[in-house]
Amino acid sequence: MLASPLAAQFETDGYKFIKAVRDRDGTVATQLLDEPGSTIVNAREVTTGETALHAVVQRRDLTWVKFLLQRGANPDIADKNGVYPIQIAAQLGFIEGVERLIEGGADVDVSATTGETPLISAVHRRDLKMIEILIENGASPDRTDNSGRSARDYAALMGGRSGVLEAIEKAEGADQGEAETYGPN
């Protein structure tokens, strides 16, 4: 009987906030965020280091992603395994989530403890649209993981039939735009 009241004493506002977000309880989450001086939008779970943003990206919930970013959630907080929300979104093929995280200031070239970037993950998945979005927003196809391979290297290993290397080159061309030329045509 004593365990329940004792456990309740250790429920911090951050814990309550992340629980409310996981439970999709917008009323409780908003009440906690609206408390004067509240900084719980970036609260982290003690065991995993995940933020509420990690949780909503994992469930591919664009409405909550937008809400948390509007309320000041930092998209560049990694969990205890070094995983960022944008990496989760890229691994899931959650294009709208990646786009919104980028709009919210997420670094597109973050790397997990293995060195894998969101772009490398997209290449492994052969997700051509994700590759395009990431490169157009500054992801480097030449940044290497801990094995020394880059997204471009992995794409080349897949061979020409996969279309992945071509997608990288096409996105790079779109990113650079047409060079302005001078003189007569």
Residue type at 98 in one-letter notation: V
pTM: 0.85
pLDDT digits (tens, 9 = 90+) for 42-77: 999 999 999 999 999 999 999 999 999 999 999 999
Domains of the chain: 12-84 (1.25.40.20), 108-176 (1.25.40.20)
Per-residue confidence (pLDDT) for residue 179, from 0 to 100: 47
Q: Taking the CA atoms of 153, 127, 72 and 52 in sequence, report the sign of the dihedral they define.
A: negative
| CA dist., res. 154 & res. 135, Å (int) | 15
pLDDT at 142: 95
pLDDT tens digit sequence for 85-140? 999 999 999 999 999 999 999 999 999 888 999 999 999 999 999 999 999 999 99
Question: What is the C-alpha separation between 65 and 111, in angstroms, rounded?
Answer: 21
Contact 118/112 with Cβ under 8 angstroms? no
Residue type, 56: V
Q: What is the pLDDT of residue 128?
A: 94
DSSP H/E element including 73: none
Q: Which residues pair with 144 in a beta bridge?
A: 150
Query: Which residues does 130 contact at the CB level (< 8 Å), separation at least 6?
Result: 90, 93, 95, 98, 118, 122
